[in-house]
Copies of this chain bind each other. A is one copy, B any other.
Amino acid sequence: MSIDLTYSPEVQALIDKTRTFVRNEILPIEDKFLGNIEDAGGDDLRVSMQRAAKDAGVFAPHAPVEYGGAGLNMSDRAPVFEEGGYSLFGPVALNIGAPDEGNVHMLAHIASAAQKEQFLAPLAAGEVRSAFAMTEPAPGAGSDPAALTTTAVKVDGGWKIDGHKWFITGADGAGFFIIMARTAGKPGDRGGATMFLAPADTAGIKVGRHIGTLDKAMIGGHCEVFFDNVFVPDENVLGAADEGFSYAQVRLGPARMTHVMRWLGAARRGHDIAVAQVAQREGFGSVLGDLGMVQKMVADNEIDIAATRALLVQACFALDQGSHAGNETSIAKTYAAEAIFRIVDRSIQMCGGLGVSDDLPLARLSREVRPFRVYDGPSEVHRWAIAKRVVGAAKKAAR
């Protein structure tokens, strides 16, 4: 195998710069505000952190070069984003947080030239934020996207959209929305969705309450959003009509992986803190880190980190080859979301009372990473998809 798992000098330099920037300039802010980005200033903080990131030359590493980014492919994003995620505020600072990062990725692949100018350019530059409006309250599109109930009806020169979304990350303060709406078929059908681009001030778009969640580091909340007779002109259809579920795949695979990268950084930070603690604290006649049960936790964390990274390499390779990599990204996401939680949980346990206190950031990290087993597809849905492929192939082989 002509394999080289090292990075080019340029990428390695960016990794190193990102590490330095995040640890020196961003971590102190996160710590001061206990990881709550709204408490820390919300969009004002975002703007100032992003300015610092630009000054440090680490801004938007994933964005196309023509839009001011470093144009990294997925394989090279992995270590950079991991460094970015080392602080919970790092992704916002680098403009690589959800949902903007995934939206940049998708727009770069699907948007028309005019759409790129209007929507992608300012988003990549950090001038606006965006939101991806797909999830709906039960019985709508949740774990099962096919349940989509928001509708878009063809009218003269465009479409009229009606529907109720929730858990729309970043909606409050977003400059524009990418709206997933049903243009054909009925809830339950595995086709018939279309994506629309709509500035946030379009008539009929109303952002409702923030839904309080365990995680506190994404900007603009997880909001309810109401679309009431929202008009979107034909030129703001993203890609082709009725192809929304396919485009979602373009976004979802990479977006799953960048979630993994960022949260792996957070998990590694928890692990580093715990290891530093047990390497110094004493008890039971020993340094804690030399006790077997603690060593087991340290080693299991190392194994989980290594396996997560190794699965990322595989999935990113497949994505960079142009595959949707549905299976690879499902496997990596499922493993990673569970491993990342375990890593942080063991880190807490290694630190005992301190671990569950605000004197260390571990409890905060745990809170932050727990939702990953739900966001971007619950583990159960990914397992179902993985098994369906394998069993389906076996059924076919048996015939």
Give A contacts to B, CB under 8 Å: 1-8, 11, 34, 75-76, 135, 138-139, 142-144, 147, 166-167, 188, 211-215, 222, 275-276, 278-285, 287, 289-296, 298-300, 302-303, 306-307, 309-311, 313-314, 317, 327-328, 331-332, 334-335, 348-349, 352-353, 355-359, 363, 366-367, 370-371, 373-375, 378-380, 382-384, 386-388, 390-391, 394-395, 397-398
Contact = CB atoms under 8 A, between A and B. Distances in A.
Given A144-B284, A383-B300, A295 B1 contact: no
A378 to B, nearest CB: 6
Given A1-B4, A142-B283, A300-B383, A366 B370 contact: yes
Q: How many copies does the complex hold?
A: 4
Contacts of A294: 292, 380, 387
A379 to B, nearest CB: 7
Contacts of A317: 3-5
Contacts of A214: 356, 363
| 7 nearest A-B pairs in the assembled complex, by CB-CB distance | A292-B292, A212-B358, A310-B310, A295-B387, A299-B383, A279-B394, A289-B391
A298 B386 contact: yes
B287 A395 contact: yes
Interface of A is mostly: helix
B213 A391 contact: no
A156 to B, nearest CB: 36
Given A1-B4, A353-B135, A289 B387 contact: yes
A276 B397 CA distance: 9
